[in-house]
């Protein structure tokens, strides 16, 4: 193959890759819960395809999905080892827009995003369970292909996905709660926080509510999750009331949430999980690295 032919083949491959990039980013974000890590995984996939013999690849989309899955699996395993001593809750990198102010690009991103509540559940899975669930249940990748990624049999891959599915189904995800009800509860939560009204705050919380915070692995303020309505209300009023006046309603991964800080300079994002007309989970993200893409 002469130089011109090689350039034509590379140009064709680059065009094909760009067409598949949005799909690959969806796969990577569901696997990693991080926009920046997802971009790294997709870029690594490009480096691998650019070095491969593309003429031998029959199904480019399937090949790329498998490669991204393998890259994400390695990243998850490495990340799990690094987080063994982290006493805080590792929370996903949020996708945030202010209500009624999103651009067409934001709307497209939100339409393709997955709820933060689901990403939090996925973080409790082993890397192999997460890969099997994401690839099969979300992207219909056959178990025999998943098996080659994790080095297990198709039956084992099926079992991993089934185990993950049970974990997901056993956790409140507020899939059946419309956005208006979400906004109403978040507004009541914010009003009670600003007023310092302990009883009103407890009233909007589920009895078994959990409060998680992620200030980043290098922060000395990392704390374990807080459980129970009264304990969570005390934590919110003790630590959060001084900042409640800077909180604004926002969409966090397509669900009602809050962004805290002046416009263009947020220092916290809060997501909520709603179940049975109560707030079942509160996730506070203050890790600066995870807020770099939040510019609202």
- The CATH number covering residue 51 comes to 1.20.140
Q: Using alpha carbons, list the distances in angstroms from residue 74 to 41, 143, 241, 272.
A: 10, 19, 40, 30
74 domain residue, yes or no: yes
Q: Is the residue at 10 inside a domain?
A: yes
Residue 37 lies in a domain: yes
Is residue 150 domain-shared with residue 203, that is, in the same domain?
no
Q: Of 262, 254, 257, give the one whose Cα is nearest residue 283.
A: 257
Section 28-56 average pLDDT: 88
3 state DSSP class of 182: helix
pLDDT digits 0-9 by tens, 178-223:
888 999 999 999 999 999 999 999 999 999 999 999 998 777 778 8
Whether 250 and 158 share a structural domain: no
Do 129 and 230 share a domain, yes or no?
A: no
- Of 55-59, 83-87, 176-180, give the lowest mean pLDDT range: 83-87
Longest dimension (CA), the chain: 76
Q: Which domain holds residue 211?
A: 179-291
Residue 201 in domain: yes
């Amino acid at each position: 193959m002469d130089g011109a032919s090689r350039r034509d083949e590379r140009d064709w491959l680059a065009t094909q890759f760009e067409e598949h990039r949005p799909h690959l980013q969806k796969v990577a974000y569901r696997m990693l819960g991080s926009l920046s890590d997802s971009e790294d995984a997709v870029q690594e996939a490009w480096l691998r395809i650019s070095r491969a013999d593309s003429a031998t690849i029959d199904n480019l989309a399937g090949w790329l999905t498998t490669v991204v899955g393998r890259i994400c699996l390695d990243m998850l395993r490495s990340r799990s080892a690094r987080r063994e001593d982290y006493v805080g809750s590792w929370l996903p990198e949020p996708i945030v827009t202010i209500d009624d102010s999103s651009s067409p690009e934001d709307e497209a991103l939100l339409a393709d995003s997955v709820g933060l509540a689901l990403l939090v559940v996925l973080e409790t899975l082993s890397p192999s369970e997460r890969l099997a669930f994401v690839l099969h249940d979300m992207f219909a990748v056959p178990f025999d292909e998943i098996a080659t990624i994790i080095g297990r049999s198709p039956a084992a891959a099926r079992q991993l996905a089934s185990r993950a599915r049970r974990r997901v189904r056993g956790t409140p995800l507020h899939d059946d709660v419309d956005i208006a009800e979400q906004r109403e509860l978040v507004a009541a939560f914010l009003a009670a926080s600003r007023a310092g009204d302990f009883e009103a705050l407890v009233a909007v919380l589920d009895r078994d509510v959990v409060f998680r915070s992620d200030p980043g692995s290098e922060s000395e303020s990392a704390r374990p999750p807080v459980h129970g309505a009264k304990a969570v209300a005390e934590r919110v009023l003790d630590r959060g009331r001084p900042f409640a006046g800077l909180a604004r309603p926002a969409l966090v991964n397509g669900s009602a949430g809050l962004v805290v800080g002046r416009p263009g300079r947020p220092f916290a994002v809060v997501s909520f999980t709603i179940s049975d007309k109560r707030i079942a989970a509160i996730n506070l993200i203050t890790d600066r690295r995870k807020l770099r893409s939040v510019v609202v």
